[in-house]
Homo-oligomer: A and B are copies of this chain.
Amino acid sequence: MIERIAILGTGLLGTSVGVALRAAGFHGSITGWNRSPEGAQAALAMGALDSIATESLQAARESLAMPIYATLDFMEKLAPVLGSEHLVTDVGSTKRQISEAAGRLFNTPERAAFLPGHPMAGKERGGAALADAELFRGTVWLFTDDPAAQRSPHSAELVKGWREWVGAMGSKIIDLDPARHDELVAWVSHLPQFVATALSALLEEEVGDAPELKDVGGRALREMTRLGASPWSMWRDIAYTNTEAVQAVLLALEQRLAHLRENLRTPELRDEFEKANRFRKE
């Protein structure tokens, strides 16, 4: 059903989608475009692409793998030049604004279909060179599609086809309302990231000049700060497009830490540990 795929943005996720599709048996053509030509060359060398497109709009047919504001820009440019023979999807980490733009610009019988997507996969460092055909195996791929979208039968088939390829790459699909998506990922994805960033930045100031003392923290410290390596360039758009939800979860954790701090010698400490233990029970 899906015969040709264009990947706009051949970083870690875009290139991983290319190699994962090949591993899952996709035999159609895959072309790619990247802001830096080196990234596209690397994706070609990894086997993620058959060809490199030199002009993004010419390449833009079925896929987007770039930060959120770049995605929103492309959506505006793509909508008028595509038609109902096309499906566009994305991998942006927040979905309220992208889903709103999808409803405004796409998903009518005459226009291309747009399926807002968010694979919960990644690495703390990006780039095509780290792409991995197994990156999506066992992970969750969220969609925030509008069930009331007015699509042509062909567009609806393309949406169904892409969902099947996502399953073939090893992901479990969960469908969510866009606002609920952004609230949920604030808790389970953005909060862990911002905590790791704050903890790492604080420790850099306090013990960063005593490098052998990082060894003292051992595995626990390494794990709790691994996400500290995540680049600002990946998180800037998330902070901008999910500001209120992220503020709410950060404030909740600040209050929780203060509660712990005030109860280091009271029975409340046991309650907190027991509640945390329950979260980790399978």
- Contact residues of A between 238 and 266, Cβ < 8 Å to B: 239-240, 243, 246-247, 250-254, 256-261, 264-265
Q: Are A264 and B247 in contact (CB under 8 A)?
A: yes
- A3–chain B nearest beta-carbon distance, Å: 31
**Chain B hits for A223, CB < 8 A:** 192, 223-224, 226-227
Cα-based distance from A227 to B273 in the complex (angstroms): 10
Asked if A147 CB lies within 8 Å of chain B CBs, one says no
Task: Give the CA-CA distance A261 to B252 in the complex, in Å.
Answer: 11
A225 adjacent to chain B (CB < 8 Å): yes
Residue pair B273, A225 in contact (C-beta under 8 Å): no
Near B by CB (< 8 A), chain A positions 213-246 give 213-218, 220-221, 223-232, 235-236, 239-240, 243, 246
Say yes or no: A200 contacts B256, CB within 8 Å. Answer: no
A207 contacts partner chain B, Cβ-Cβ < 8 Å: yes
B272 adjacent to A218 (CB under 8 Å): no
The binding surface of chain A is classed by DSSP as: helix
Interface contact A199-B250, CB-CB below 8 Å: no
Residues of B within 8 A of A252 (CB): 202, 206
Contact status A269-B187, CB under 8 Å: no
This protein's copies in its complex:
2
Q: Which of A45-53, A101-109, A151-159, A274-282 lies at the binding interface?
A: A274-282
A216 near B140 (CB under 8 angstroms)? Answer: yes
How far in angstroms is the closest Cβ of chain B from A196? 6
A208 within 8 A of B: yes
Contact in complex: B276, A228 (CB < 8 Å)? yes
Taking CB as reference atom, which chain B residue is nearest A239?
A: B264
Q: Compute how far the CA of A277 lies from the CA of B233 in the bound complex, rounded to whole angstroms.
A: 12
* Chain B nearest CB, measured from A215 CB (Å): 5
Assess A260 versus B250: contact at CB under 8 Å? Given A120-B216, A265-B239. Answer: yes
Q: Does A139 contact B (CB under 8 A)?
A: yes
| Complex: A272 Cα to B174 Cα, angstroms | 33
28 residue pairs of the A-B complex, CB under 8 angstroms, read A174-B216, A187-B207, A188-B203, A189-B216, A192-B224, A195-B224, A196-B224, A198-B253, A198-B276, A200-B275, A200-B280, A201-B256, A201-B272, A204-B278, A220-B227, A223-B226, A223-B227, A224-B224, A226-B280, A228-B276, A230-B273, A231-B277, A236-B270, A239-B265, A247-B264, A250-B260, A254-B254, A257-B257
Chain A positions near chain B (C-beta within 8 angstroms): 120-121, 139-140, 142, 172, 174, 184-185, 187-189, 191-208, 212-218, 220-221, 223-232, 235-236, 239-240, 243, 246-247, 250-254, 256-261, 264-265, 269-270, 272-280
